[in-house]
Structure 1
């Protein structure tokens, strides 16, 4: 454990940030799961609503640096493609 006052504060901050990032990553995984579940049920309205929510959360996570922006884009693209596949 750190002894200097500034290092103790840094440690506290890092724990807070790690918890925040972990929560955001969990939220991302859950919304992606929700979209995929709606696609499996072939419920178009539910899938579109879940996709709308997922897009916002993925963009927010990428903007805050929790996940890479290209990872967010890839996930949004693949989910959008899956939802569009229900219509066909």
Structure 2
């Protein structure tokens, strides 16, 4: 019985870790950025575009990385916000 409970707990933990929140708020001095993760998942359909070969939180994600990855992608695809006030809301 203990093995069954442990297995169930492990499955629930793994399933929870694999599902990100629909919306993520990133705190910033010039206004927080609300990121619609679900919309990006539906549009891009490939996690590797942002996450590389790893799942979960993007390593070393900071202001510079966000501007390069996010803003760069928006500029390249000519879709999404590219100006400061379009992402940063006070």
TM over 0.5: no
What's the TM-score, normalizing by structure 1?
0.32
Which structure shows the higher strand fraction?
2
| TM-score normalized by the length of structure 2 | 0.32
Structure of greater Rg: 1
Which has the larger share of helix? 1
